[in-house]
Chain A
């Protein structure tokens, strides 16, 4: 990072990262029930990869924000279910469901939204202090 990171950049980029995380969770939950007759085309759960972005190369200032550097697709095998009456069942009567743990996704969602809130707190505190500093001596 060549540019100076202010506390506003730090918090807003972190909020953007949490937003991406919430989007991936929403997409996983939305597709939790999308079964398919072909194990290769079934939906694969996605997860964002978070990486700290430092203000300086030497990491001396301790100022760092976070970016989503990649979205990784889960390599877990899809769940095989025997459902011969299912319209998309394959020849042997199996359908494949994406390996999504909805409970884990919900917990992830809670954690993500809490961290989003924390960043908002940081922003509003920093903003209030900045305004007070501008009014010094008045």
Chain B
């Protein structure tokens, strides 16, 4: 792994997972009125750890399987509803909106961290 990859891997993984989660939570909100729809979500912490731990082993053949996971292979689970509705839909708008807002804020925070990293690197390059 080169040093640029190492520098940006944490932020890139987090952003990619947050983006994925944004899409899933957006889907839940979009399907708030669909009968039998089951709300989904990913466990960000677990998925992040698994994505960060991957790629430690050198693969010598293309058929080798990654240890750990990637941001794309994060496990999508079903949400356990607090009070399921009669039509079989498990989307609870207040929960989804809260998670969506939390996820968006964390996405923005990660963007700020990334910007900070880029700026400090730029400063180091310029030597000002």
Contacts and interface: CB of A to CB of B under 8 A. Distances in A.
Contact of A64 (B27, B33, B41, B118): B27
A33 B108 CA distance: 52
B24 A62 contact: yes
Given A125-B100, A133-B111, A137-B115, A7 B23 contact: yes
Interface stretch (A38-46, A76-84, A111-119): A111-119
A135 to B, nearest CB: 9
A52 interface: yes
A60 B24 CA distance: 11
Interface in A89-138: 111-112, 115, 118-119, 121-122, 125-126, 129, 132-133, 136-137
B71 to A, nearest CB: 12
Interface of A: 5-7, 10-11, 13-14, 18, 21, 50-52, 60-66, 111-112, 115, 118-119, 121-122, 125-126, 129, 132-133, 136-137
